[in-house]
Structure 1
Amino acid sequence: MVQRRQRWALRGKHVAVLAAISAVPLVVALPARSASLTLTETGSTLIYPLFQAWASSYTNVAPDLHLTLGSTGSGEGIDDAIGNKINLGTSDAYMSDQQKHDHPFILNIPLVISAQTIDMNLPDLHEKAVRLSGPVLAGIYSGHIHDWDDPTIAALNPGVSLPHKSIVPIRRQDASGDTFVFTQFLSFSTPSWEDGINYGTAVDWPSVPEMKTATGNDGMVKLLAATPYSVGYLGGSFQADAAKAGLQIAPLQNADGQFVLPTDESVTNAAALLTPRTPPDERLTLVFAQGARSYPLINYEYAVVSAKQPNAETAAALRDLLLWCVNTAGGSTASFLAPLHFISLPTSIRALSESQIAAIH
């Protein structure tokens, strides 16, 4: 299983990206360079709250720059960047080998590291942490595990009185980087999922009568909160919203068989083991790292940008913005990242990102 996961990590393949459902863009005015300039962004709902915070602060850096943000989903962020519809796409997923081959001038630039959580609405167990694993989640989302007190779940949770209630799995409706990361976890941990559904920003989900769909991370939080006995996957930047909604985060079984929660330490441990493999184009999965203290659901948050911009001024504005985002004295300070549960890039990965940013012209 580990050899299989490493092979995927090196090749970076995934199924085709589908279009996402658009959200209404947020326009933030930023002070500018020599003249007024607008940059447009669409994509990841996970990194959207961080971009909002970045945009607010970047007003002190760039004169007369207008940044338009669109929380549309990672699939649309990639598609819009490939189609030259925007200046900057954002995504929790990297482009597939085929997409990169077909569009060699599109860069995938990590800005930060994020985690994904598996959240549950279990009214009877507010004080209990219910452990889950990749194979159990694959069983739930394929329709083979129906009830919370199923023996496979009970075996992971000795001493916990699990409710005899039907499980309601919730997935993303839009083409989502969160779906990409979640289904990678299922594929890397469960051979039957790999051989059947596999992974991508959108997949051919099994037909499960109880399954519901949500658009965006905010939609996922709302639907989970409104649906007792549900389970779903959320971007880590929505942990505060999930806590307010009374949702529980599941400790997940990692590649070493240990159950871990997403903390700064467990995310950093996982990243430290996998980031040394990052190739120059930085397309690499960080999912299901080995290590007893590694959290299994982490990923790079990508800026998806064309190296060829329409003019020198736009290229310079993009380079300046992205360099500021990855700078530990700029957008990657703890004051930005910690409240939203992001981790700054390791020094070696930051250098790779800076090298890619320098290629924008």
Structure 2
Amino acid sequence: MSVTAAFATDITGAGATFPYPIYSKWAEAYKAKTGIGLNYQSIGSGGGIKQINAKTVDFGASDMPLTSDELNKDGLMQFPAVMGGEVLAVNLPGIKKGEIRLNGKIIADIYLGKITKWNDQAIRAVNKGVNLPDMKISVVHRSDGSGTTFIFTNYLSKVSGDWKSKIGMGTAVKWPVGVGGKGNEGVASYVQRIKGSIGYVEYAYALQNNMIYTQLQSHDGTFLMPSSETFQAAAAGADWAHAPGFYEILTNEEGKSSWPITGATFILMHTSQEKPANAKEVLKFYSWAYDNGAKMAEELVYVPMPKSVVDLIRSSWKEKIKDTSGKSVWN
């Protein structure tokens, strides 16, 4: 991605680290084709929301969708760019990818500080035959305002009454235990360094860093490995056409094959554009990505938006994003 001074036609964006690997890939291909660069700051969803509200970037990016009320209050609209899954990465000697199984209650209790050892009875009960070490669990979470944290804590709030009542969900929460890393990058780095650690990261980061991750139990009770198929199964239940402002959350979806910690990542833009030419370039970039970026997304195990949803998104651009005279930016 361009880190040089942006040219007049270069696009600027900031926010979610969850989609950074695919935005980088799209940006490289788009620049090669059009000469237009994307300067994207992977600073976390909380930072992206702040920057778009301050109008310091052409678009913000967040894995936490904003409600219609929040969008209207700040003169924003949002649309989903791509979907993906989060995994629990661990650093345990002698344990291979997918060898350990975890369910929502166990994960919540680990992050609440109630389960503190890897050979705790609750973990042993779902991991018969696995040689679990007598080792302290080191919890790693995000330190910044994060949509990845929103998706993770939204999931924990659905599977653990204890978590819901004591901690709840949000881009930042009051963590009872653990050490905080900045961005998906920071969490991945801590987990790789700290023996006995566990952390939640977007799957592409686990793949890129060759990390060990666990199986997770689906809403319907099956244990699953993360994959395009299990992310797609979770995404299939989304009803985008009836989601106000594309507000859709994909955690703990029903279905034997649905990965439980799945989410979309969203682009935030102002509905009244003081720089309509810049806004149009942003839309051209995402339009190109919808048409040409699916294979790249799948290579990094993200789930592209279905064509029917892309049609809805383009209609929303036409309807909602206007210049200061009220003329549609997208046509």
* TM value normalised by structure 1: 0.83
- How many residue pairs get aligned? The number is 321
Matches within 5 A, 1:238-253: 238-243=205-210, 247-253=211-217
Equivalent position amino acid for 2:321 in 1: I
Q: Tell me the distance in 2 between the aligned counterparts of 1:303 and 1:276.
A: 15
Matches within 5 A, 1:322-333: 322-327=286-291, 330-331=292-293, 333=294
Q: Tell me the distance in 2 between the aligned counterparts of 1:46 and 1:340.
A: 12
Q: 2:188 is matched with which residue: 206, 221, 234?
A: 221
Q: Tell me the distance in 2 between the aligned counterparts of 1:212 and 1:44.
A: 20
1:352 aligns with 2:324: no
Q: 1:143 is matched with which residue: 113, 122, 125?
A: 113
Aligned to 2:100: 130
- When residues 165 and 116 of structure 1 are mapped into structure 2, their CA distance, relative to the original with a 3 A threshold, is same
Other structure's SS at 2:130 match: coil
1:293 aligns with 2:257: yes
- When residues 293 and 128 of structure 1 are mapped into structure 2, their CA distance, relative to the original with a 3 A threshold, is closer
CA positional deviation for 1:280: 4.2
Aligned to 1:38: 10
CA positional deviation for 1:287: 0.6
Aligned to 1:263: 227
- When residues 261 and 48 of structure 1 are mapped into structure 2, their CA distance, relative to the original with a 3 A threshold, is same
CA positional deviation for 1:97: 5.4
Aligned to 2:48: 77
4+ runs of 1 displaced by more than 6 Å? none
CA positional deviation for 1:28: 6.2
Other structure's SS at 1:321 match: helix
Question: Pairwise CA RMSD of aligned residues?
Answer: 2.1
- When residues 127 and 115 of structure 1 are mapped into structure 2, their CA distance, relative to the original with a 3 A threshold, is closer
Other structure's SS at 1:123 match: coil
Q: Tell me the distance in 2 between the aligned counterparts of 1:132 and 1:352.
A: 37
Deviations 1:223-261 (A, max 9, x none): 101101100000122132331xxx321111111011111
Deviations 1:194-243 (A, max 9, x none): 1221111101212x2xx111111111111101101100000122132331
8 A contact 2:97–2:214 mirrored in 1 = no
Aligned to 2:327: none
1:155 aligns with 2:125: yes
CA positional deviation for 1:27: 2.5
- When residues 241 and 62 of structure 1 are mapped into structure 2, their CA distance, relative to the original with a 3 A threshold, is closer
Aligned to 2:58: 87
Aligned to 2:267: 303
Q: Which runs of 5+ in 2 are unaligned?
A: 323-331
Q: Which runs of 5+ in 1 are unaligned?
A: 1-24
- When residues 139 and 226 of structure 1 are mapped into structure 2, their CA distance, relative to the original with a 3 A threshold, is same
Aligned to 1:203: 173
- When residues 224 and 278 of structure 1 are mapped into structure 2, their CA distance, relative to the original with a 3 A threshold, is farther
Q: Tell me the distance in 2 between the aligned counterparts of 1:225 and 1:205.
A: 21
Other structure's SS at 2:88 match: strand
Q: Tell me the distance in 2 between the aligned counterparts of 1:354 and 1:28.
A: 30
- When residues 275 and 260 of structure 1 are mapped into structure 2, their CA distance, relative to the original with a 3 A threshold, is farther
Identity %: 29
Aligned to 1:279: 243
> Which range moves more in the overlay, 89-98 or 230-239?
89-98
- When residues 139 and 323 of structure 1 are mapped into structure 2, their CA distance, relative to the original with a 3 A threshold, is same
8 A contact 2:98–2:213 mirrored in 1 = no
CA positional deviation for 1:357: 2.5
Q: Tell me the distance in 2 between the aligned counterparts of 1:68 and 1:95.
A: 23
Q: Tell me the distance in 1 between the aligned counterparts of 2:241 and 2:199.
A: 30
Matches within 5 A, 1:5-24: none
Deviations 1:8-29 (A, max 9, x none): xxxxxxxxxxxxxxxxx95268
Other structure's SS at 1:201 match: coil
Equivalent position amino acid for 1:315 in 2: A
8 A contact 2:240–2:246 mirrored in 1 = no
Other structure's SS at 2:269 match: strand
- When residues 28 and 140 of structure 1 are mapped into structure 2, their CA distance, relative to the original with a 3 A threshold, is same
> Which range moves more in the overlay, 139-148 or 127-136?
127-136
CA positional deviation for 1:155: 0.9
Deviations 1:89-145 (A, max 9, x none): 112111245523422x31121011111111111113236611111111110111111
Q: Tell me the distance in 2 between the aligned counterparts of 1:91 and 1:49.
A: 14
- When residues 80 and 170 of structure 1 are mapped into structure 2, their CA distance, relative to the original with a 3 A threshold, is same
